[in-house]
Structure 1
Amino acid sequence: MTTSLVTGATAGIGAAFARRLAADGHALVLVARDGERLAGSAAGLRERYGVEVEVLAADLAEEEGVAAVAARLRDGSPRPVDVLVNNAGFGNRGTFLDVPVEDEVRMLRVHCEAVLRLTAAAAEPMRARGRGTIVNVASVAAFMPRGTYGASKAWVVRFTEGVAQELGGSGVRMLALCPGFVRTEFHQRAGMDASRLPSFAWLDADRVVAAALRDLARGRTVSVPSVRYKIAVGLARHVPAGVFGAASTRTGRRYDPKTR
């Protein structure tokens, strides 16, 4: 039986990955900070799909949390992990100098350090078995100026590409998933005002996951779901950085919940 471990598994893209992988018959290891919500998600997946689901409550911004998940990946008990989805992440509202440095460092721990350490913990036993898949969730912000968030996601893309090259021929597949705006709890949790974004800018989490899995099957290392965001990434390579940066900065500012 194939076993998949998903971080940030209780909402958004992580929950969509969990649903899709369960529907495909995978046993699951769900990782998130909120133990109560994690247990509820696990119960729902067991009931709906009839798969085995483990839960591991862990905060990936903390040493204890990262170490616990890395140990599960290395030990392979009760069963080895065949698919790792590094999805956990968050945004900070406000521009760089508006955000406490401690919050930015916490973001880097989750987006970069945790991804690096969990990828290493998973890739080593996968390479030894000659098979495995690692999906690192990045963002189209990786290709556009968006402060620490965009920089961390750019790191995820380059890191994934580099490791994929090093693991070439090993049977271990790597994918950096770079969605645009997705209808999740992300912006609300961060206190970001995304209410003025046009409806066509939004993607559905389940469709994002389906696109990622299609790109994996095609042997791609970077996946940008939807034609409109593929075009946006292409334009970002040629349009002055300030054009995209201004729009991105406006979205990241504080908002008044009464206006939503």
Structure 2
Amino acid sequence: MSQLPYRNTEYFSLSDFKQIEVGLCNVSFVPLYGTDTEKKLLALFSPDDSNTIVGLYLLDRWWGVEDVLKTAEPSRTGLIKVSTLGERIVLYVLNRIVLRNEKSGEDVFFLCHCEREAAKILWKDGEAIGFYSFKPKGSLCRNFVTQCYQLPVMDTIFVRKCHRGQGHAIKILEDFVGSFRNEYIGLKFPLSEAISKVCEKYFSRYPADKELLWEVEKIGSPFQRTLIVNRLQKLNLKGKKNICIFSFCDMEILIFVIICDDEFNELIGISCN
């Protein structure tokens, strides 16, 4: 740590023009590939939050998080396979920094991707705005090292908040399915509400694929998978609650009340059958 690349009075400017001092108290190494501690990145942490990374030391200088996500090729657009070290770093930034900074109630934290993770980054006008990763059929399962995945399984997917609602998630699912045309394909259990909605839209466009997509647990053996279309149908049925209408008079005012909660109906002794 005594040879860290900074001087006693070095400052780093954030995107909002705020300057923070670079010192031993807010600089640390972070593993690029999670449990693999051999390959690390030098990270600068926010003085206001010791868990928030605001910069990375790359190519002999500090880079802000947003700058790492931009490339010198503004024409780079679409889903591109992660293959270079630079792309691995971009994937790390999206997954371990941006996702946590932008997390909403529907987002799920993911573990670090391993060095040889099969993944694609979603680019738009030279800027990385999302990603997805998957486990190829036949690859070893991290939690069951003697067992292999029985089908390709998408296990992480993310699109930045400012780019949501523009059809990017559908494009990601189209790309994933298109990579394994006419094969059974898995999405990791449990499906979030957002991904369930994406699947519904996908099936409305491609009804012939309803028998291809499965919600997968563990390695996706025949007893560890459920057809996503069946799961969506069950959720839709569960969401439909019985409606009961009754009336009562009070001070010559007739009031109609609609009850849509089964537990409340049972409590007051009303049958919706």
Q: TM-score, normalised on structure 2?
A: 0.30
State the structure with bigger RCO (CA 8 A, min sep 6), 1 or 2: 1
Q: TM-score, normalised on structure 1?
A: 0.32
Higher percent of residues as strand:
2
Higher percent of residues as helix:
1
Larger Cα-atom Rg: 2
